[in-house]
Copies of this chain bind each other. A is one copy, B any other.
Amino acid sequence: MSKQYWLGVDGGGTHCRVRLYDEQQQVVGEAVSGSGNLRLGVDQVFAHIITASLQVVRSAGLPDDTLAQVSVGMGMAGACQPQQQAEVAAYSHPFRAVSLLTDAHTACLGAFCGQPGAILILGTGSCGLYFDGQHFHSIGGWGFPISDGGSGAMLGLRLIQQSLLAFDGMQPVTELSQRLLEQLGGHPVDAVAWMDQARPRDYAALAPLVWQAYEAGDALADSLVTQHLDDVRLLLRRLQQLGAGRCALMGGLAARTSAHLSAEFGHFLVDPQQDALYGAMLLARDGVELQGGLCT
């Protein structure tokens, strides 16, 4: 019987990363190709994954038809539509097998090497995911602004809201509220124009202003951080309630948020053990069942 390989895929909007593992779980190689956004169509995404896989296989001195011995685990951003799942399952690809989950699922598998545990992603958006050893349980992550408390986008939105109230004399003006208005152009009219074009990541890009001002003792920053931590507590408590015994915080806000909550949550907050590519390899190797909503 020929040798088996496992390929972990981490597919984001800008690129697809792949990492090939052999039977001893040793890394054969890694490569990066174009966008892994399934909304662009399953053909294009598979083309990128195949291009990157062939690059790894050839670099390792293996023949191209090695792909037929490769089981693929895909963790793809936005792979939340049943239709996308069906398209990937039905696709005629050169691999031995393909399994698909979102990048949050593979990040969770990687964080605890396939053992039970939860992750809480605090980036542009937010979402919590708990793997109990057999099934996934997800909370939040429905998108900004109807969801995603604890995210950078929500922190940025509240910063703008409070700064406009300050401009209009309904909240005290602070260094931070003035700094925010300057950043958006100097006047609320500029903020209106900014909003017309703004995407969640643009709101999230304002979050660092809050942390900087917090360090400087700004009263508005203090109230925004307090509210942010309350949102994160709600998510962490729910993950505990679902049965999680440990949780890894991830995303751009993880480090600062974790520093504020580590005393309160003690050993519950841990560092991830491996990355999402490793988790995707585990998905390819072991498979996991999916419970609840697909969108996480």
User: A residues within 8 Å of B by Cβ?
Assistant: 80, 139-140, 142-143, 145-147, 149, 157, 160-161, 164-165, 168-170, 187-189, 191-192, 195, 234-235, 237-238, 241-242, 293-295
Contacts and interface: CB of A to CB of B under 8 A. Distances in A.
15 contacts: A139-B170, A142-B192, A145-B161, A146-B160, A147-B164, A147-B188, A165-B234, A168-B238, A169-B241, A169-B242, A170-B235, A187-B293, A188-B293, A189-B293, A189-B295
A140 B168 contact: yes
A98 B192 CA distance: 27
- Nearest first, the 3 A-B pairs at minimum CB distance are A139-B168, A146-B160, A170-B234
Contacts of A139: 168-170
> Within the oligomer, what is the number of copies of this chain?
2
Given A139-B169, A169-B241, A170-B234, A161 B149 contact: yes
Contacts of A188: 142, 147, 293, 295
A195 B145 CA distance: 9
Nearest to A184: B146
A113 B193 CA distance: 33
Nearest to A139: B168
Given A139-B168, A147-B161, 15 more contacts: A139-B169, A140-B164, A143-B192, A145-B157, A145-B161, A146-B157, A146-B160, A147-B188, A149-B161, A149-B165, A169-B241, A169-B242, A170-B234, A170-B237, A192-B295
Contacts of A140: 164, 168, 170
Contacts of A242: 169
Most buried by B among A149, A189, A242: A189
A242 B234 CA distance: 39
Contacts of A164: 140, 142, 146-147
A83 B126 CA distance: 40
Nearest to A154: B161
Most buried by B among A80, A140, A164: A164
Most buried by B among A139, A241, A242: A139
A189 to B, nearest CB: 6
